[in-house]
Structure 1
């Protein structure tokens, strides 16, 4: 169980699913319908979290054009924040409806960064998962909790949720890991429920139990078009090894094909390169698949292994021609994107905002910087990134305002607190957004420079006083000089 304390899950949804049947709203069994293709896929979108930092357990996105080399979106900052449950999420899953008209993100409701111990998280944690919903992949609903494990006797948690559309029943199977006692043994097992709307679910049923004392948290299913390798579905599970199974029915029987021990890869039992969080994807336009594995034991991040025939584990090979981008990517999921989806995503989060420094008007050798999360103006700030910010659209007030996003602390912004300035993690509240938003106006001391007017206290401006940044009313020439800055590269 000690290994469990180092990990939490990810998983992803069969992003390549494309069935013609629309979403059913009842529990009635529907006859399988023939597969129908969405528009051709041209890119890839990864949802992930980054770790146990103040903003690491939130939703991050990355984009790829080839499925192996990734670029962080939103300048490496989170795109969605959980404001429900534990106010943190891990192991996000991206899911598209078969008709391509609705999307969901589901994730573990857990925030270790708040001080929660792994023991408490596993035994007295949330039995809910967090759900976001969208019709266009870029505008998302507020997060909501969905209690999937509450019906399991003695359930301690609900970790690493996954979901997949099941054409045999016309609804979705959500599956996840819960730590509970069964037959006298307490460990993590995989359970499932069915849902048509990600708002109500059936009673939980046991899905996967390896027997003896072996717990299992990470498991993920991918649907393979044309049943390449002999099966329609393949499942990768971190159960001591990275075990590969196959089936023609999501809720039917599964055939064990083997594991990746021939590559020196295991989940601990087999030693070698110890990994977790298997994450499937199919390469666009060809019968080749990649299974990403998180090398958590060494902290090296994801490693891809690829195959053109999943029907035999000996077909997998490791790859070195990949790049994971600037942020560490933990337990996520990959959605294959159509051209229209890719365009919307990149229009929303793909633009790179330039890095700037904020120069003082009356102390032109000094620049705004954060130091131990306090904010001041300083000469030759070191490290240099402490004085580098991206002026992004205001967290409140939109494009009419700006917010100062830290370069070396993604997800952190300059905000006033008691009229003093600090560098703080965005907590998703309206108060934070208002405190971190400012209107750019002509410089109070020199109109060719810039001053920054508070969004929620418009009679106050950012100014330095004793070299420390404050939010003050400006009433004299000294104040006007102190409140004037230049945005420079």
Structure 2
């Protein structure tokens, strides 16, 4: 009888553990959250706190909290890089991040920042966890659930004394961790691993420091030193790192994001694939995706509709918009020396591209564009050229600064802007300068593209 009672107790405990350790179904995820830190070319946009953005399509992102941090470390270097969000087996989240404030990559650090969160609307239990006693860095954490161990693996970039490798520590609570061990050391230096588990296969994407390319490896067990690289090298732009693997919530297909490394270049590039297990990644046109403003190396996780709504309600949407060019999708409308133009993002002052799209000064059915960083000045046409001028409240100014938003002349899902007081003319770029010109649906394809913009954040 005692043995039977003990068996029943053990069975009940096992059932409870299995109930806790069921990962929420990916079908419940209908949106995405992006965690990141920020930098800009001359670092006016640098902020080493935890930032969040949301997306419903996984490609175009809306910063939350006016692109200000939602949590900031209070120990260690007092700054973070490379934040990673993991949904744990109980459905709640843990956030890990590199303990590094700024760009002094020469310093050694044996710790990671950690927060707990039920739904990412608040962050509790802040702590730092000690991972090793090596004289090296602890960069770019990723984490995954290893069902065979009944533990989470925390994988990070470090140096084992001879080369750059990935280390791993195992944990059940992200407080106490096992001794560190080498997780992936393929015979050349590596950086920035990202791990996802799909079915029974573990996928590890990483940067090969010898070639500067991104590669994918896989394992049937997820155990240390069990991965085999199976993809060709990938790169867009001049340099790339920090691969991010994201499964499409629709249930088919994957995206791979890569950080351009330098804040003076395009911040992110992206690829898509219908089969993560194959070796076929297609580079996405930048028209398709828009990273969060000034975002750098982070992570992306699926969230439910309720979690998406909760994040928007808690942190708020931006009070500004940006205008992305249709045919030069790496360029955004901005003012420079009070002249309207489109320039390649990122640039500084990055605020030059931020607009308050307000009811039209001449007709509230239209829109006007007020500068965020020079309030009281609006985009207006003068001799058909677009300038940023102070509102003198004359009828002429109000008319020049008012536009009617219409379906995009080149893409109805985007937008075009017709002049209020010269109604056959539309806002467009020409030689990267903004102006208004006569346009219609019968205009050339190039002219229509020049006059088409994505209103984004």
Matched, 1:106 2:96: yes
* Structure 1: gaps of 5 or more residues: 1-20, 25-29, 267-271, 356-382, 391-406, 410-489
Q: Which of 203, 219, 232 is the aligned partner of 1:234?
A: 203
Q: Output the TM-score relative to the length of structure 2.
A: 0.61
Question: Could you tell me whether the CA contact under 8 Å between 2:52 and 2:69 is conserved in 1?
Answer: yes
Which residue in the other structure is 1:255 paired with? 228
1:231-262, CA deviations, whole angstroms, 9 ceiling, x for partnerless residues? x222111013211111221116222212235x
Q: CA deviation at 1:354?
A: 7.8
1:451-472, CA deviations, whole angstroms, 9 ceiling, x for partnerless residues? xxxxxxxxxxxxxxxxxxxxxx
Q: CA deviation at 1:343?
A: 1.7
CA distance in 1, matches of 2:119, 2:319: 23
CA distance in 2, matches of 1:208, 1:291: 20
Q: Which of 20, 29, 46 is the aligned partner of 2:34?
A: 46
CA distance in 2, matches of 1:41, 1:22: 25
CA distance in 1, matches of 2:373, 2:291: 15
Question: Could you tell me whether the CA contact under 8 Å between 1:128 and 1:158 is conserved in 2?
Answer: yes
Q: CA deviation at 1:325?
A: 4.9
SS in 1 for 2:280: helix
Question: Could you tell me whether the CA contact under 8 Å between 1:244 and 1:256 is conserved in 2?
Answer: yes
Q: Which has the higher contact order (CA 8 A, sep 6+)?
A: 1
Which residue in the other structure is 2:249 paired with? 284
SS in 1 for 2:74: coil
Output aligned runs, 1:191-340, within 5 Å: 191-211=167-187, 214-225=188-199, 232-239=201-208, 240=211, 241-251=213-223, 253-261=226-234, 265=235, 273-297=238-262, 299-325=265-291, 327-340=293-306
Matched, 1:172 2:146: no
SS in 2 for 1:57: strand
Question: Could you tell me whether the CA contact under 8 Å between 1:47 and 1:92 is conserved in 2?
Answer: yes
Question: Could you tell me whether the CA contact under 8 Å between 1:50 and 1:330 is conserved in 2?
Answer: yes
Question: Could you tell me whether the CA contact under 8 Å between 2:151 and 2:171 is conserved in 1?
Answer: yes
1:323-365, CA deviations, whole angstroms, 9 ceiling, x for partnerless residues? 435511111001101122112111111344589xxxxxxxxxx
Matched, 1:189 2:189: no
Q: CA deviation at 1:156?
A: 1.8
Structure 1 residues 35 and 63, CA gap change in structure 2 (3 angstroms)? closer
Question: Could you tell me whether the CA contact under 8 Å between 1:48 and 1:330 is conserved in 2?
Answer: yes
Question: Could you tell me whether the CA contact under 8 Å between 1:32 and 1:169 is conserved in 2?
Answer: no
Structure 1 residues 284 and 243, CA gap change in structure 2 (3 angstroms)? same
Structure 1 residues 325 and 294, CA gap change in structure 2 (3 angstroms)? closer
Question: Could you tell me whether the CA contact under 8 Å between 2:259 and 2:268 is conserved in 1?
Answer: yes
Structure 1 residues 57 and 242, CA gap change in structure 2 (3 angstroms)? same
Output aligned runs, 1:392-403, within 5 Å: none
CA distance in 2, matches of 1:351, 1:282: 25
CA distance in 2, matches of 1:106, 1:22: 29
Matched, 1:89 2:88: no
Q: Output the TM-score relative to the length of structure 1.
A: 0.58
Which residue in the other structure is 1:147 paired with? 130
Output aligned runs, 1:367-446, within 5 Å: none
How many aligned positions are there?
Answer: 311
Q: CA deviation at 1:222?
A: 1.3
- Alpha carbon RMSD of aligned pairs, Å? 3.3
Output aligned runs, 1:129-148, within 5 Å: 129-148=112-131
CA distance in 2, matches of 1:215, 1:41: 35
* Structure 2: gaps of 5 or more residues: 1-13, 322-348, 357-371, 375-457
